Structure 1
Amino acid sequence: MRFTSEQPLGDGVLERAFTLDGIPGILWTPATAVASAPVPLILLGHPTLGLRRMYPRLAARARHAAADGFATATVELPGSGDRPRLPVLEQARADLRRAKETGRPVDEEIIDALVLPLVEEAVPEWQAALDALLALPGIGGPVGYSGGVISVGVRLAVVEPRIAAAGLFAGSLVPRVMFEEARRVTVPLHVLLQWDDEGNDRQAALDLFDAFGSQEKSLHANMGGHTGVPQFAGEAAARFFTRHLK
């Protein structure tokens, strides 16, 4: 991991940009993060819009988490931002656009091509980032995962034992194979669902929640579209992570 810049954001929050094997990322740490008293870490997931476009939302989430005593970090997803395009994802996105423009249903083949290659590429990168982040002074476990592409969160919760709790956003298409993986998830879950999300299959989101194998899982559904998440929903998620990571 190589840090490329740093800047204070106020309230003692330090933001540091980094690269890891050529992958850009950002780390935010509160003033309380010192080697003698390492703080828990939350991995901030995000959609495939690129870190530059998502930065304002990510930085706001990081500052709220820092106020609760958490370090947070994120990495650029494969095929997004300044990273090289992935032809299989570009083709799947084009197929998705055509299906929507012509009013055809988005079939399982398109969903698989759109999501599964991203999961296969992204999850090992998140794990490599986690290796590097936990080796830094002032950062320790337990670790949470928050938001982003829900299938990435599901896979991480299955294969990464350092993930102790996950807050998932049911706002993306889900391949059928991920329902089988969901049954293997056992960490506490906080799942957010926007009831009128125009790009999300509500019934699929409900079925996925039902499939999760976690003994503790809660579904928080609010009226409104994809970008209409109410402020109190973030407050509820913050309480969830405070309960499970501290």
Structure 2
Amino acid sequence: MLFISEQQLPDGVLEREFTLGDIPGTLWTPGSAAPAPLILTAHNNGLPRREARLVARARHTAARGYAVATIDGPGCGDRPRPAAHDRIRAELREALRAGRPADELLESLAGPLVEEGAPEWRTVLDALLELPELDGPVGYSGWAALGIRLAVTEPRIAVAGLFAGGYVPRAQREEARKISIPLLMLLQWNDEGNPRQRALDLFDAIGSTEKTLHANMGGHTGTPWFEQEDAGRFFDRHLGRTQELSPR
């Protein structure tokens, strides 16, 4: 892992850009000297890691006392996008405009992103946990499809927060039954292009005995900011920070 830039932010958070082979990423760490629990945050279906609302969530979480890491997945952000991705995305946009069924197109786009992305995330996790300023256990926050795959294949991930607003391939809908870690799912009730019932069925299928669903009115990007605070308390409980963050 090679750090290529760093910036001290006004809230005390240190923001560092890194590369690991051809994988670009960003790591935010809090100002405290003690090793911080790590949260991996992955975006939905190809958003660049520098997208403003994603960065805002990461910085807020780091200011709370966590290390937060994200990468650009295969074909996303700063990484080359295969011509097939552009073709599928164009066909998908046309199908959605015309009101035609789009599940097979979504499957052909999202499925490979999970299959190629999950091994990269595990490689990045290996490198991150070698840093002295980071510590376990590890949390995950973001795209549900990738989170499901990591939750059932990566034993170092102890807790997950999933956003229901991204397509989840059939393979991950089946894998959801194997999840056993504590889980929080966020759902926008009027999310355009993401059928509500599919998200509810996914939540029902998740095998965790401790799982929570928060649903809010509004569209895809309308998640209320207070959910960020609620997610912070959720991670506090399960990543061992409840006691040190409690009022004195």
Shorter-chain TM range is over 0.9
What's the counterpart of residue 196 of structure 1?
190
- Residue 69 of structure 1 aligns with an amino acid whose one-letter code is G
CA distance in structure 2 between the partners assigned to 1:76 and 1:131 by the alignment = 17
Distance 2:94 2:140 in 1: 33
Q: Deviations over 1:103-123 (max 9, x none)?
A: 21223x212101110001111
Q: Is the 8 A contact 2:12 2:63 kept in 1?
A: no
- In structure 1, the residue matched to 2:155 is 161
The CA deviation string for residues 11-49 of structure 1, in whole angstroms up to 9 with x for no partner, is 2210110000111100011111x4xx3110001111212
Give me the whole-angstrom Cα distance separating, in 1, the residues matched to 2:53 and 2:169.
27
Q: Is the 8 A contact 1:174 1:204 kept in 2?
A: no
Distance in 1, Cα, partners of 2:78 & 2:226: 33
Q: CA RMSD in A?
A: 1.3
Residue matched to 2:58: 62
Query: How many residue pairs were aligned?
Result: 239
CA contact (8 A) 1:185 1:213 kept: yes
- What runs of 5+ residues in structure 2 fail to find an aligned partner? 241-248
**Post-superposition offset of 1:68:** 2.0
Structure 2 residue matching 1:51: 3-state secondary structure: coil
Superposition TM-score, scaled by structure 1 size? 0.93
Q: TM-score, normalised by structure 2?
A: 0.92
Q: Give the match's secondary structure for 1:16.
A: strand
Corresponding residue to 1:186 among 180, 184, 194 = 180
Q: Secondary structure at the match of 1:125?
A: helix
Q: 2:39 aligns with which of 26, 39, 42?
A: 42
What corresponds to 1:89 in structure 2? Answer: 85
- 2:67 equivalent to 1:71: yes
Contact 1:88 1:113 in 2 (8 A): no
Partner of 1:5: 5
Query: Amino acid of the residue matched to residue 104 of structure 1?
Result: R
What is the deviation of 1:188?
Answer: 0.5
Mind listing any 5+ residue stretches in structure 1 that lack a counterpart?
none
Query: C-alpha displacement at 1:86, in angstroms?
Result: 2.6
2:238 is aligned to 244
User: Equivalent of 2:49, from 37, 48, 51?
Assistant: 51
Name the SS for the 2:178 alignment partner.
Answer: coil
**1:68–1:242: 8 Å Cα contact kept in structure 2?**
no
**Pairwise CA distance, 1:81:** 1.6
Q: Is residue 2:138 matched to residue 1:140?
A: no
Give the secondary structure class of the aligned counterpart of 1:59: helix
